[in-house]
């Protein structure tokens, strides 16, 4: 029999009451607390906590606290990237962030989804789809990226945009839902 955690990681519908899922949530909560309450005078200590929390943290990458996630282990961030204050990365599925990515304050990367139908939603079923930000993406402040979205290389997403579907490389996208409004050379 497949565990709920295995179903979750496979992107299949699951219920989050599995003991392994609950244990992973607790681990992440403890590490986020350590990171979010750490001293700004201890950058090496902060990095050590992030390396323990996240699946991968590239060289010269920085995240400003407070930072919030579900599990941490499903997040991979490439080198030389920056995540500003109040980021929320709900990593029920994989979140993959490339190199040289800039993420503004209050950005949300949301991999979980829930059934539209009322009965399975009432029964607490959920699932998730991965999010990918390619190299050199810039997400302005308050951007929300929804489950299953890929943002192409060099793309800029304007502040407050809601990204509901894939964005191609080398564009500027704005709005709700986000739409390309300009090509970048």
**Residues annotated as part of the active site:** 114
Q: Based on the number of CB atoms within 10 Å of its own CB, is 149 exposed (0-12), middle (13-18) or buried (19 or more)?
A: buried
CA distance 138 to 155: 7
- Tell me how far apart the 2 most distant CA atoms of the chain are, in Å: 51
**Cα dist from 8 to 87, 92, 126, 134, whole Å:** 22, 7, 8, 24
Question: Helix axis angle, 43-53 relative to 19-36, nearest 10°?
Answer: 170
């Amino acid at each position: 029999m497949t565990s709920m955690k295995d179903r979750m990681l496979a992107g299949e519908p699951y219920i989050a009451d599995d003991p392994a899922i609950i244990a992973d949530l607790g681990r992440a909560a403890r590490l986020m607390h350590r990171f979010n309450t750490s001293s700004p005078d201890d950058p090496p200590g902060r990095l050590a906590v992030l390396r323990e929390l996240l699946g991968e943290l590239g060289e010269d990458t920085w995240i400003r606290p407070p930072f919030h996630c579900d599990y941490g282990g499903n997040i991979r961030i490439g080198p030389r990237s920056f995540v500003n204050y109040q980021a929320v990365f709900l990593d029920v599925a994989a979140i993959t962030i490339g190199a040289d990515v800039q993420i503004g304050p209050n950005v949300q990367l949301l991999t979980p989804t829930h059934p539209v139908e009322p009965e399975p939603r009432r029964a607490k079923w959920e699932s998730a789809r991965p999010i990918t930000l390619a190299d050199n993406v810039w997400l302005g402040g308050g951007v929300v990226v929804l489950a299953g979205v890929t943002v192409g290389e060099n793309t800029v997403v304007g502040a407050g945009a809601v990204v509901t579907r894939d964005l191609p490389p080398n564009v500027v996208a704005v709005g709700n839902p986000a739409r390309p409004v300009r090509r970048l050379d």
